[in-house]
């Protein structure tokens, strides 16, 4: 047992060392090839860039109409949308809570129906198991009676064979 744990410990140490090397070696290799930050070698490899690049385009430059997002007549033609937008925040929260309550009630009803069905099926299986157990007990008692009768029959047969041999019957 101790030898196995020592072998397991050695294996874990080897795997740990290999994992550390796999993680660290590429980074160290890159650092040694490219030089460390702040050293003269790193500064001489890549001189600073002096680019004259145009500034990136903003959303306002691409589409000036998107800057004004407060469109006043948006949805004024749709009466349902207009009515929905006029509702207060509390009314919207109340409506959301009512919807969640309805969903929860529906879910609860579904779970109750499923639970009732599961109970019914479990009861049916229990009745079938009781029938099976009763039939097994009947078969077992019939087997025991048949075995007892077989033993009695063998004793009677043995007695008849003894009597027949005493009277001179030699048999097969």
- Residue 58 DSSP symbol: P
64 assigned to some structural domain: no
CA torsion 68→73→76→77, rounded to 10°?
Answer: -110
The lowest-confidence range among 50-59, 122-131, 154-163 is: 50-59
- Residue 67 confidence (pLDDT): 57
Count of domains forming the chain = 2
Confidence of residue 108 (pLDDT cuts 50, 70, 90): very high
Which two tokens mark 50?
A: 């002096």
* pLDDT (tens digit per residue) in 35-44: 655 555 444 5
69 assigned to some structural domain: no
57 assigned to some structural domain: no
Which two tokens mark 95?
A: 């409506």
Predicted TM-score (pTM) of the model is 0.36
61 assigned to some structural domain: no
- Given a cut of 60, whether residue 142 has pLDDT beyond it is yes
- Given a cut of 90, whether residue 154 has pLDDT beyond it is yes
Using an 8 Å Cβ cutoff, are 76 and 82 in contact? Answer: yes
Structural domain including 11 reads 1-33
The lowest-confidence range among 17-21, 41-45, 86-90 is: 41-45
82 assigned to some structural domain: no
129 assigned to some structural domain: yes
Cα–Cα distance for residue pair 121/106, rounded to 1 Å: 23
71 assigned to some structural domain: no
């Amino acid at each position: 047992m101790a030898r196995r744990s020592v072998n397991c410990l050695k294996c874990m140490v080897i795997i740990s060392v290999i994992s550390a090397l796999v993680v660290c070696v590429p980074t160290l290799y890159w650092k040694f090839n490219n030089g460390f930050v702040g050293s003269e070698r790193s500064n001489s490899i890549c001189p600073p860039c002096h680019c004259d690049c145009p500034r990136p385009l903003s959303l306002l430059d691409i589409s000036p109409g998107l800057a004004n997002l407060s469109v006043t007549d948006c949805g004024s033609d749709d009466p349902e949308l207009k009515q929905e937008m006029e509702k207060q925040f509390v009314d919207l929260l109340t409506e959301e809570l009512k919807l969640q309550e309805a969903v929860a009630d529906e879910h609860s009803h579904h779970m109750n129906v499923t639970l009732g069905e599961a109970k019914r099926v479990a009861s049916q299986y229990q009745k079938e198991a009781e029938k099976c157990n009763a039939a097994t007990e009947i078969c077992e008692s019939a087997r025991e009676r048949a075995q007892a009768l077989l033993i009695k029959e063998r004793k009677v047969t043995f007695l008849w064979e003894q009597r027949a041999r005493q009277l001179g019957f030699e048999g097969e």
